[in-house]
Amino acid sequence: MIPERLQPILDEVRPLAERFEATGHTIYLVGGIVRDLMLGRPTDEVDFDLTTDARPGEIKSILSGWADAVWAQGQAFGTIGARKGSTSFEVTTHRAEAYRSDSRKPRVEFADDIGIDLSRRDFTVNAMALRVPDVELIDPHGGLDDLAAMRLRTPLDPDVSFSDDPLRMLRAARFIAGYGLKPDDALVEAVERLRARMAIVSPERIQGELSKLMVVADPSEGLWFLADTQLSDEFLPELRAMRVEQDPIHHHKDVLAHTIAVVAKTQPNLVVRLAALLHDIGKPKTRSIGSKGVSFHHHEVVGARMARDRMRALRFPNELIDEVSRLVFLHLRFHGYQDDVWSDAAVRRYARDAGPLLDELNELTRCDCTTRNERKARMLARRMDALEARIAELREREELASIRPDIDGNRVMALLGIGPGREVGEALDMLLEARLEEGPLGDDEAERRLLKWWEERDGASKAP
């Protein structure tokens, strides 16, 4: 009896599976969809990973008579892609590959046996396959038992698995956090021994896997795994460097514990999660102890620069780097807020500086409060509520999301009879300052202010 949750998947892949069967080849569903089906997790999968004993040229031939589109960019690695309707398929020849000790690229070898292919996969919970169209679970390494026991193991000796592809050590953190799996002792010990092998993995692959970890529901256990095994030292040394005490007298939680707690509180949005991870990386470099205890003066400035440097090293997209470093730079701005002290101009500046990241900055600021002091936590929450209410009120009256001078540079040049140059920038800065201090001026008033400023500026320049 086929479980009901399997039937839609089987119906989707059956026509393709029957084509392979008709040519004398076997084909299997593999990857996350098999694991999640075994867990009973809902799936709306529209992309399928399959593996077969057919060679790439044969796969292409079988797909070409059936799919709407076929692509072969991955043919050198045994993978042919196809699309049928809105569904994508990647079909790969069984592989038995390994990384050379000094190379980032795998040495590709094809195999005829599904067992060999599964043995080379990262973890037992991912080393299961479903034969199609006749359903048969292939589970030579006990992945189903490990799912039931919430255990993370490698199909082969972990030294072999991690030597084959060192990125699997980082991927382990995602499965620990995302699936609540507990790594067995052999896996942990292998990571501690082999972590330096991460040097052969490209920054782009590390960045991709780290990003996946950061958007699981709660990355905490994965981040602690990276820190405790020292694996993070190989690509994010700033993480363990944050194991410094916030307060050496009262032994309050260290910066790393605080950081991971902040990450756990944020929504699984990559920009906010990365900002939460990196918001205090400047603290170790700025930590000093004086008569009033420990302090971290300007750690947001230092941290923003460090965040930018680290993200560049990991080849994050430039836009994401700009957004995360901006949030790190601004994450303390709120702490000067008092409703009876901040003018409307100060609120406008806060919103203007955050720009399109205003909601993300507010979330990071809220989550940055991890104190166990309930009175202090309630006080900070009330202050943030008050600030957001002020912002909402100003938003109703003004375009806070895009605060700019009331007139643009073209109008400035026309009114002053000048061309592009430094004076235009100075004029726009003056008008922006007035806009921030007073709110919208309107075109007529902005033009009046501009002409008055220009007259005074011109008079000052002619004074003896």
- Scan for tokens 């190379």, then name that residue: 103
Q: Rounded distance, CA 431 to CA 444, Å?
A: 12
Q: Report the pLDDT value the prediction gives residue 251, as an integer from 0 to 100.
A: 46
| Least confident residue range of 178-182, 229-233, 276-280, 292-296 | 292-296
Q: Which amino acid is at 153?
A: R
- The neighbour count for residue 32, using CB atoms within 10 Å, is 14
Does residue 448 contact residue 408 with C-beta atoms inside 8 Å? Answer: no
Q: pLDDT (tens digit, 9 = 90+) per residue, 211-257?
A: 999 999 999 999 999 999 999 999 999 999 998 765 554 445 689 99
Work out the pLDDT band at 294, boundaries 50, 70, 90.
low
Q: In the numeric block, which tokens belong to residue 201?
A: 């993995």
Q: In the numeric block, which tokens belong to residue 428?
A: 């726009």
Does residue 153 contact residue 172 with C-beta atoms inside 8 Å? Answer: no
Q: Say yes or no to pLDDT of 402 above 60.
A: no
Work out the pLDDT band at 323, boundaries 50, 70, 90.
very high
Q: pLDDT (tens digit, 9 = 90+) per residue, 200-209?
A: 999 999 999 9
Q: Report the pLDDT value the prediction gives residue 462, as an integer from 0 to 100.
A: 47
Q: Rounded distance, CA 72 to CA 81, Å?
A: 6
Q: Report the pLDDT value the prediction gives residue 41, as an integer from 0 to 100.
A: 76
Task: Report the sign of the C-alpha dihedral through residues 352, 364, 325, 104, in that order.
Answer: negative
Does residue 222 contact residue 171 with C-beta atoms inside 8 Å? Answer: no
Decide which of 394 and 290 is more confident.
394
Work out the pLDDT band at 408, boundaries 50, 70, 90.
confident
Q: Say yes or no to pLDDT of 2 above 70.
A: no
Does residue 247 contact residue 293 with C-beta atoms inside 8 Å? Answer: yes
Q: pLDDT (tens digit, 9 = 90+) per residue, 30-80?
A: 988 899 888 887 665 568 999 999 999 999 999 998 999 999 998 988 999
Q: Report the pLDDT value the prediction gives residue 238, as an integer from 0 to 100.
A: 96
- Scan for tokens 């590709």, then name that residue: 108
Beta bridge partners of residue 342, listed in sequence order: none
Q: Rounded distance, CA 80 to CA 25, Å?
A: 15
Q: Which amino acid is at 102?
A: D
Q: Say yes or no to pLDDT of 357 above 60.
A: yes
Q: Report the pLDDT value the prediction gives residue 292, as an integer from 0 to 100.
A: 61
Decide which of 242 and 352 is more confident.
242
| Least confident residue range of 32-46, 335-349, 443-457 | 335-349
Q: Report the pLDDT value the prediction gives residue 100, as an integer from 0 to 100.
A: 60
Q: Report the pLDDT value the prediction gives residue 437, as an integer from 0 to 100.
A: 74
Work out the pLDDT band at 463, boundaries 50, 70, 90.
very low
Three-state DSSP state, 98:
strand
Q: Report the pLDDT value the prediction gives residue 7, as an integer from 0 to 100.
A: 82
Sequence-ordered list of residues with C-beta below 8 angstroms from that of 253, at least 6 positions apart, any chain = 246, 261, 370
Work out the pLDDT band at 442, boundaries 50, 70, 90.
confident
Q: pLDDT (tens digit, 9 = 90+) per residue, 121-156?
A: 999 999 999 999 988 999 999 999 999 999 999 999
Compute the mean pLDDT over every residue in the chain, rounded to the nearest whole number.
87
Q: Report the pLDDT value the prediction gives residue 67, as an integer from 0 to 100.
A: 94
- The neighbour count for residue 283, using CB atoms within 10 Å, is 24
Mean pLDDT of 428-440: 78
Q: Report the pLDDT value the prediction gives residue 66, as an integer from 0 to 100.
A: 92
